[in-house]
Amino acid sequence: MTEAANPIYTVSSAPHAHSGDTVRRIMLDVIIALIPAMIAATYFFGWHAIRLMLVCVIGCVVTEAACRKMMGRNLAIDDLSAVVTGILLAFNLPPSLPTWQALFGCIVAIAIAKQVFGGIGYNPFNPALIARVALLVSFPAAMTRWHSPLNTARWTSLGWIDGATTATPLDMVKTAITSGDPIPFSWDGSMAMRFFVGNMDGCIGEVSALALLLGAAYLLWRRCISWHIPGSYLATVVLFAGILRVLNPDANMPVSFHLLAGGLMLGALYMATDMTTSPLSKKGQLFYGVGCGLLTMVIRRWGAYPEGVSFAILLMNAVTPLINQFTQPGIYGHKK
């Protein structure tokens, strides 16, 4: 038999078909999706938002370049992943955080949470959330010091808080529940709209649900994310918060409050959907989203912290390998 009659085929490992997307293209899409929230952050918090976003982006890019240089690898900063980490880290910071503490967060996010594990695609935990938690543990006073948005005066007709407010809505509710006092404000449609737009105390990138949803719509259109994680995450919070509200309306806030207050939208739409740290299969993503929602509500209601999103996502990051193992699809043509 000749060689032509018995051709030798060299087959590489999967995947054999490429979508055409690159890491740089996906990261660029995420940056585009974050633009509405960046504009909202600048509108509501002014110079503080601009300062934190610039510091975190530059800090993350420089830290990544330095780490890659020390490891003898190519810098790889042109994939824009460090830029995305910097923006998301800034979004998770209070507006008054000192610049040097933000830089400390950049080092934690890139050097410890990302490059120690081998760089992009190998980190088991979301780098921006690891940095946020590290900052919260290291500088609790600075990470829980708030001031109202610069444009609060434009919304005074809607009532509730003024420019002197120094606590987030979740902080106020948590304090009231812990001390056994009544909730210090009433929740109505006008306040819900105010929160939806973003005029409230909080981290610079989490306050505007409207801006975050606009960006998420772009990511869904570009197929950078699917509905499975954010959908199951938010649906679980809705169900859990709804049950608590029915059982004890005096000690539990309405569902809309939990959706709009704090970092739930930012976490569900942009942090939990991180490709590296979330499950691969659609079924696994549903389990993952449900777990994030349950942990978020348990921490918010009974935990020591008023906000449970960061801890919930990081805990579910830890069990992602197990979820992948138990939800991996069977081999085509073989019985499960």
Question: What pLDDT tens digit does each residue of the chain (336 aa) get?
Answer: 555 566 666 666 665 666 667 889 999 999 999 999 999 999 999 899 999 999 999 999 999 999 999 988 887 788 899 999 999 999 999 998 999 999 999 999 999 999 999 888 899 999 999 999 999 999 998 998 887 776 544 444 444 434 444 678 888 888 887 787 777 777 888 889 989 998 888 899 999 999 999 999 999 999 999 999 999 999 999 999 999 999 988 888 999 999 998 899 999 999 999 999 999 999 999 999 999 999 999 999 998 888 899 999 999 999 999 999 998 876 666 665
pLDDT at 329: 76
Same-domain pairing of 104 and 211 = no
The reply to whether 15 falls in a domain is: no
Q: What are phi and psi of 208, to 5 degrees?
A: -100, 100
The reply to whether 17 falls in a domain is: no
Same-domain pairing of 82 and 184 = no
pLDDT at 32: 97
User: Cβ(111)–Cβ(62) under 8 Å?
Assistant: no
Same-domain pairing of 191 and 227 = yes
Same-domain pairing of 105 and 71 = yes
Let me know how many helices (H) and strands (E) the chain has, helices first: 14, 0
Same-domain pairing of 186 and 284 = yes
Structural domain harbouring 183: 165-323
CA-to-CA separations, 190 to 40, 155, 211, in angstroms, rounded: 19, 10, 18
Question: Structure tokens of 198?
Answer: 């973003």
For 271, the 3-state DSSP assignment is helix
Determine the Cα–Cα distance for residues 271 and 133; give it in Å rounded to an integer: 14
Determine the Cα–Cα distance for residues 229 and 237; give it in Å rounded to an integer: 12
The reply to whether 6 falls in a domain is: no
pLDDT at 187: 84
The reply to whether 197 falls in a domain is: yes
Quote the number of domains for the chain.
Answer: 2
The reply to whether 276 falls in a domain is: yes
pLDDT at 286: 96
Same-domain pairing of 205 and 122 = no
Same-domain pairing of 108 and 181 = no
The reply to whether 331 falls in a domain is: no
Same-domain pairing of 176 and 123 = no
pLDDT at 165: 47
Same-domain pairing of 130 and 210 = no
